[in-house]
């Protein structure tokens, strides 16, 4: 079989007539992977030089790729690669670039791509223990390591989810089922005004009226105000509501603020509330000494969301929920069915379908396990330490720019700033900062985003990509300085 056979539409057509075209042979698989790898490596080599975000024309691109008819005949693989790489990949945010300092950067460790290839090729079923006990154990190892990282005791565990939103959702449903009766509509939950909107969405989807979600004000460091929280819980209880859950943040999306977990745990304990911590952005900084100091008391939470596709630099589609007591997760999700195999009763073994809303799912544990085993946690700790250093460096540099106001100092690796010259009122200041952001991003070397703090438009930097190092941060500061000069002269 010649090398081009698998890429040849004639051959694909012949296969339809004569063989079993869906049963790819080893040689064909190798050729497909090689052809794909050529495009992937070329793309990755160019990545650092590619523009950060070129989305104008996205509408035309999307419409040009619309296919009304179901394809009935074969298309050569190389043509399909061209569709993905030459068209689909255009007009995107360059999320894996070292210059992506926007929102919360995703990762994309290539080890995980290889792990996914293996996991999908072997396609074993990890929803129930008996179907793949060894592979389930590899995934359980990852969860136990995470529990160790956050300081959880024996008996803790969790599940890997598709992301932070699903982890938060699972946490809220678990807290609801453990702390409230079936009739739960008087249940109220508490979070700061800085909490990620996935918490509100999760509460909504878990069946709570939106009015039962109490947004507690935050202090000048964007941390939940403990006295206001207590007062709100107590007045709700007096009014006949059933406070059952408080959510803290281990790194808010706006500014990376970390709540006071010891104080939150006291409040939760005294008032019998479940404490959930959303550490989707910041949780993995617990690997570092500085992160541990900033997030003291994290282990007091009943549940913690982590997002390996953020803080462990993995590709999108990898979240995690940890619970201090594995039984809580099991009690919330356990359900029997006649056609299911018997579940494990041994406390050291786990059927993941008993801890999660999912039954069938991908073997996502492998994409976490492989890079962690290949490098060890030490390499991830160093990389996260570097991000803390880079954010601290950017903070010092920004402070040296005239009229630059640091609105949020980095507690972890996010900071927020605003250009505030004296002769600009608040509204004119907002417009000036919008212009500044346009000019920074227009240079296409870094991509920053903005948010609103205290009603004012502020620009954020979030350093979290494993590809971001000092060279790119220097470019970021160069671009910011130049853009400040231009925006003020404008
Ligand atoms: C603090 C926080 N929580 C939750 C989420 C939601 O996570 P995901 O996008 O993985 O669903 C995010 C996403 O940026 C976040 O920053």
CB atoms within 10 A of CB 52: 23
Residue 247 scores a pLDDT above 60? yes
pLDDT tens string 80-98: 999 999 999 999 999 999 9
Phi-psi group of 108: left, alpha or beta (phi > 0 → left; psi -120 to 50 → alpha; rest → beta): left
pLDDT of res. 54: 86
Long-range CB pairs of 53-56, under 8 A, 24+ apart, other chains included: 53/92, 53/93, 53/94, 53/441, 53/444, 53/447, 54/90, 54/91, 54/92, 54/444, 55/91, 55/92, 55/93, 56/91
Q: How much distance in Å is there from the Cα of 168 to the middle of ligand 1?
A: 9
pLDDT of res. 378: 98
Angle at CA of residue 160, ends 156 and 161, nearest 5°: 130
Q: How much distance in Å is there from the Cα of 484 to the middle of ligand 1?
A: 30
CB–CB of 410/450 below 8 Å?
A: no
| Average of per-residue pLDDT values in the chain | 96
CB atoms within 10 A of CB 235: 12
Q: How much distance in Å is there from the Cα of 469 to the middle of ligand 1?
A: 23
**4 band by pLDDT with thresholds 50, 70 and 90:** low
**In a mutational test of the pocket of ligand 1, which residue from 280, 281, 317, 462 has the highest number of ligand atoms less than 8 Å from its CB?**
280
Q: Return the structure tokens found at 198.
A: 């996935």
pLDDT of res. 426: 87
CA 268 to chain centre: 26
* 3-state secondary structure (DSSP) of residue 186: coil
* Residue ranges of E strands in 204-284: 213-216, 242-249, 274-279
Residue 256 scores a pLDDT above 50? yes
Which atom belonging to ligand 1 lies closest to the Cα atom of 167?
11
Mean pLDDT over residues 334-363, rounded?
Answer: 96
Could you tell me how many residues make up the chain? 490
Residue ranges around ligand 1 (CB below 6 Å): 104, 163-165, 196, 198, 253, 278, 280-281, 307, 319
d(CA 435, CA 457): 11
Residue 166 scores a pLDDT above 70? yes
Which atom belonging to ligand 1 lies closest to the Cα atom of 279?
1
pLDDT of res. 243: 98
d(CA 159, CA 471): 37
Mean pLDDT over residues 394-414, rounded?
Answer: 97
Residue 11 scores a pLDDT above 80? no
φ/ψ of 269, rounded to 5, equals: -65, -50
d(CA 485, CA 463): 24
* 3-state secondary structure (DSSP) of residue 458: strand
Angle between helices 365-375 and 133-150 (to 10 degrees): 60
Residues forming a β-bridge with 321 = 159, 305
pLDDT tens string 144-159: 999 999 999 999 999 9
**In a mutational test of the pocket of ligand 1, which residue from 162, 223, 253, 282 has the highest number of ligand atoms less than 8 Å from its CB?**
253
Ligand 1, atom 5: closest residue by C-alpha: 164
Only one residue has tokens 């594995």, namely 326
pLDDT tens string 354-378: 999 999 999 999 999 999 999 999 9
Q: How much distance in Å is there from the Cα of 281 to the middle of ligand 1?
A: 7
pLDDT of res. 3: 47
CB–CB of 310/280 below 8 Å?
A: yes
Residue 452 scores a pLDDT above 60? yes
CA 129 to chain centre: 27
Ligand 1, atom 14: closest residue by C-alpha: 104
Q: How much distance in Å is there from the Cα of 333 to the middle of ligand 1?
A: 23
Q: Walk across the sheet containing 242-249 and list its strands.
A: 157-161, 319-323, 303-306, 274-279, 242-249, 187-192, 213-216
Angle at CA of residue 127, ends 126 and 130, nearest 5°: 70
Give the global pTM: 0.96
pLDDT tens string 186-230: 999 999 999 999 999 999 999 999 999 999 999 999 999 999 999
**6 band by pLDDT with thresholds 50, 70 and 90:** low
Q: What is the DSSP string of 318-349?
A: -EEEEESSHHHHHHHH----TTSPPPP-STT-
Exposure string (b/e) for 168-196, b if CB count within 10 Å is 16 or more?
bbbbbbbbbbbbbeeebebbbbbbbebbb
pLDDT tens string 308-328: 999 999 999 999 999 999 999
Spatial CB neighbours of 246, under 8 Å, sequence gap ≥ 6: 189, 190, 191, 229, 233, 264, 267, 268, 273, 274, 275, 276
Residue 1 scores a pLDDT above 80? no
Q: How much distance in Å is there from the Cα of 13 to the middle of ligand 1?
A: 45
**In a mutational test of the pocket of ligand 1, which residue from 103, 108, 162, 164 has the highest number of ligand atoms less than 8 Å from its CB?**
164
Mean pLDDT over residues 256-265, rounded?
Answer: 98
Ligand 1, atom 7: closest residue by C-alpha: 164
Q: How much distance in Å is there from the Cα of 198 to the middle of ligand 1?
A: 7
Which atom belonging to ligand 1 lies closest to the Cα atom of 309?
10
**What torsion do the CA atoms of 174, 176, 182, 187 make, to the nearest 10 degrees?**
-170
pLDDT of res. 490: 83
């Amino acid at each position: 079989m010649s090398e081009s056979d698998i890429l040849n539409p004639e051959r694909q057509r012949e296969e339809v007539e004569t063989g079993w075209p869906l049963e790819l042979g080893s040689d064909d698989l190798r050729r497909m992977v090689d052809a794909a790898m050529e495009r992937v490596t070329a793309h990755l080599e160019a990545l650092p030089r590619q523009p950060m975000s070129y989305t104008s024309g996205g509408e035309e691109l999307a419409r040009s790729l619309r296919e009304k008819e179901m394809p009935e005949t074969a298309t050569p693989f190389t043509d399909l690669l061209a569709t993905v790489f030459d068209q689909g990949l255009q007009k995107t945010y360059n999320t894996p670039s070292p210059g992506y300092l926007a929102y919360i950067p995703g990762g994309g460790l290539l080890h995980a791509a290889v792990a996914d290839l293996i996991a999908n090729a072997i396609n074993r079923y990890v929803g129930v223990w008996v179907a793949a006990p060894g592979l389930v154990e590899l995934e359980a190892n990852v969860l136990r390591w995470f529990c160790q990282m956050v300081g959880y005791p024996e008996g803790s565990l969790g599940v890997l989810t598709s992301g932070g939103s699903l982890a938060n959702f699972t946490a809220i449903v678990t807290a609801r089922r453990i702390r409230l009766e079936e009739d739960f509509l008087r249940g109220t939950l508490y979070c700061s005004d800085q909490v990620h909107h996935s918490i509100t969405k999760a509460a909504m989807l878990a069946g709570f009226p939106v009015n039962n979600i109490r947004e507690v004000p935050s202090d000048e460091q964007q941390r939940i105000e403990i006295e206001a929280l207590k007062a709100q819980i107590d007045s709700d209880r007096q009014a006949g509501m059933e406070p059952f859950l408080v959510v803290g943040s281990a790194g808010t999306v706006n500014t990376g603020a970390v709540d006071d977990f010891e104080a939150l745990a006291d409040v939760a304990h005294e008032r019998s509330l479940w404490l959930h911590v959303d550490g989707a952005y910041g949780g993995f900084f617990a690997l570092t000494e500085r992160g541990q100091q900033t997030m003291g008391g994290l282990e007091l939470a009943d549940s913690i969301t982590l997002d390996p596709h953020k803080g462990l630099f993995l590709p999108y589609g990898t979240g995690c929920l940890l619970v201090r007591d594995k039984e809580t997760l099991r009690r919330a999700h356990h359900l029997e069915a006649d056609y299911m195999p018997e579940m494990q009763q041994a406390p050291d073994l786990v059927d993941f379908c008993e801890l999660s809303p999912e039954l069938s799912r991908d073997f996502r544990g492998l994409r976490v396990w492989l890079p962690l085993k290949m490098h060890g946690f030490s390499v991830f700790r160093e990389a996260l330490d570097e991000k803390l250093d880079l954010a601290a460096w950017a903070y010092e540099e920004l402070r040296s720019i005239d009229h630059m106001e640091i609105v949020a100092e980095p507690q972890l690796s996010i900071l927020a700033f605003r250009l505030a010259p004296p002769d600009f009122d608040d509204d004119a200041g907002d417009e000036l900062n919008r212009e500044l952001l346009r000019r920074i991003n227009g240079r296409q070397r870094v991509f920053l985003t903005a948010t609103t703090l205290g009603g004012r438009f502020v620009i954020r930097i979030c350093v979290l990509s494993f590809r971001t190092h000092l060279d790119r941060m220097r470019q970021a500061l160069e671009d910011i300085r130049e853009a400040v000069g231009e925006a003020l002269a404008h």
